Structure 1
Amino acid sequence: MLSSKWILCCFLLTTLILSSVFAQPTPTPTTLVKRQEVETNSVNEFNKATVSRKSSSTKTATATATETGKGGGSNGSHDGSPAIIPAATTAWFVAVYGTESGISSRMASLGAILIVLGLFLCSMGFRRFKEMLCVMGLLTFGSMTWIGLANCRPVSGYPMDSILMIVVPVCVGLVGAVAYYVLWNIALYLVCAFGGFIFAIFVLSWKSDLVIVSLIGRPCFLGGMALLTGVVTFFALRPMLFFATSFVGAYIFMFGVDCLSRTGLIAAPQAMLNRNPNHLVEYSINKYIYVMLAMIILMFLMSMAWQMLFNAAHHLGMHIVAAAKGKPAHEEPKEEATEGHPPSSPPPS
C-alpha cells in the first residue's frame, strides 16, 4: 500500500519537474509590447530599404532620360540645340547633293535645266516677254513650294522622297507659269520682287554661317528686299525688269553649275531657307564659292549691259518703229505704256 503511494508521489513529482522544464512561461503585457515594437521596427526598416532602392532606380532612370533629351541622340547636340550637319562630310554631301560622290541623275537634270533657263533670262529675258513671265512663274512657285516641303519634311523623309521633292515643285511651278502668263500685269511686280529676293540670298551668301546671323533678321531682310524691289517697280518698270531678268538669270546659271561641280554654293540658300531641325546643313564658304559669287556679279553686269543695248528699241516685247518712219516715237504704238507703267493690253510677242 505504501509502495503504491510512493509510486504515485514519484510520478506526480516527475510530471511537475518535466512541466516546469519544457513549458514556456506566460508572457506578460510588457513583454508583448516590447515584442511588437521589435517586429514593427523590423518591418519599417525593411520598407525604408525598399523605398530607398526604388528611389535610386527612379533617379538613375530620370538622369539617363534627361541626358538623352539634352542631345545624347543622333538629332541633338549636348546643349539641347538641333544638330547641324558639318560641311564637306559624307552626310553633308548626301543632304545637299543627294549622293556621297559623283553627280546623281536628278542633280544633273536640275543643273542642265537651270543653266538653260539662266542663259535665256540673261540674253532674251526682256525681249521675249511672255516666255520670261512663264520662266519666272515656274522658278518662283517651284522654289516656294520646295521651301515649304523642306521645312515640313519628317526625319525619315516623305514617301518616295526623292521623287516627291521634284515632282511637286515642278507641278506647282507650271501652275505658276500659267498664272503669270494670264495675269501678266500683276506678275510684272512679282517678277521684280523675286529678283530682290534672289539678290538678298546672294548678299547673305558672302560669309560662312551667312552674313546675318540672327534667325529673325534673315527673313526680315529677305522679305524686305522683295517688298522694296516690288515697290520700286511701280516707279521704274523698265530698269527693274532689266535688273530682275539679268540677276535671276546669272544666279540660277551658277546655281546650275554648282549642281554639277558640287562646290557648296547651293548650301547657302538651303541653310537660310530650310530651318527644319531634322535636316540642318552647315554653310562654309571657300575659295571656289568666292569665285562663283564673283562670276554671278560679272555675268549680271554683262547681261544688264547687253539687254539694255539690245532692247533699246523695245518695250515689253513691242518694237518701236516710229522713228524709222520719220514720225515721233510716241505716235506709232498707241497701246504702248508710258515709262514705268505696264501697257493696257498684253504686248504681242
Structure 2
Amino acid sequence: MTRSRAATTAGALAIACALSVPTSAFAKGPGGSQFDVEGSNQKDGGKTLESRIVYSGSTGGSKGTRSGGFTPVGDWSPPACWYEPKWTPDEFAKEFQKDWDIPNASGVGEAYNLAKEHYKNGQPYKDFNKSETGKGMWWDAVRDRGREESGDPAAFACDTATFWVENGETPNVKNAVTPEILAQLAYSRIKVPDTEITLAPEDVTKVNLPTWAWLDKATFKEVSVTAALDVAGLDISATTTAKPVSLKLEPGTSDAVTYPASGECRLNDDDSIGAPYAKGKARETPSCGIKYLRSSGDGTYKLRATITWQVDWTGTGGTGGDLPDGTFGTTQDITVQEIQSVNR
C-alpha cells in the first residue's frame, strides 16, 4: 500500500468510526474525530457517549457550603481527552453496525467499506475480535464534556481510532488510562470549600487597627477524590488528595499592609493557620492578618483569601506521586472606618 493510500485509509477509518458514535450535534466518534452528518439518527447520552470511569469523594464540596474546583499552579492541566476500555467484541460489533442508516451522506460507502475491512474482514481484525472475547477490550477516546463544549482544542487531540488491547497490557498511546491518568482526572473533579476565614474585627474594622485572620484546624482539612474504571476484570483506580498548606491574603487596596509582609500565611504545626484573636491582644501584631491605612469611604474593600492546596495521589499496583499544587480563592467585603476622636 502506498503512503497516500495508507493516509486515505486512516482518514476514512477515522470518519467511519466517528459515524458509529453520534452526539446531539455531531456524529462524534472513536479517536475524537467529528463528522457533521445532516439527517442522521442523532442521540444524546447513552452508554456509548459516557465514560466508564466513576468518581467518589469530594466531588461536590462540603455539605452546606459553597465550593469549587481549584486552579492548577503553572501551565499544567488535567487531560481534556483520554482513552479507556469501552466495549467487549459483541458490544463493539453492535455499536459499529447500528448507526449506519445515514441516507445520502457523501463518502459513507467508502468509509464503511474500509472500516469493515479493518474491524470485521480480517484486515487486521476478524469479526470484531469475537474469538478473543474475555481476553481484552476495545478502547476508545473520551472527551471531557465541559472542555469539549467550551471548544478547548485539547479536547480534540485524541485522534486514534478504536483499538484492541489485551487484558493486563497498557496501550502505547498518550493519555491511555493508567492509575496516573485516573489521578489526573480525579484532580479535575475535586471540589474544595470556600475560603471562609475568621476575622477580628469581623467585616468592619478601623484605619491602622490590625485585623486578625485565622483558619481553625477543624474546618481546614484535606479532601480527596477516587477515580476507578467500572469495567469487569480491570482493576485500575487512583485516589487524589489535596491538603491545604497556606493562605494568601490580598487586601483589595494598595493602602494596606499584610502580616506577614508577603501576605502568605503558612500552616502551623497543628494544621491551623494564623492565631485567633483574644482579649488583651489589641497591641500585638497578628501572625496572619491585615492593617488598612485608609478608610473605604462609602464602599468596601474586596479582601481576597486564597488557599494553596498541595496535591498527591496513590493508585493500584503501588503507584503514586505528586501533582501540581492547586489554588482556590474567594472574596469578602471589608468596611474600613476612620477612628473617631473627641476634642475637648
TM-score where L is the length of structure 2 = 0.23
Compare the two structures and name the one with the higher helix fraction: 1
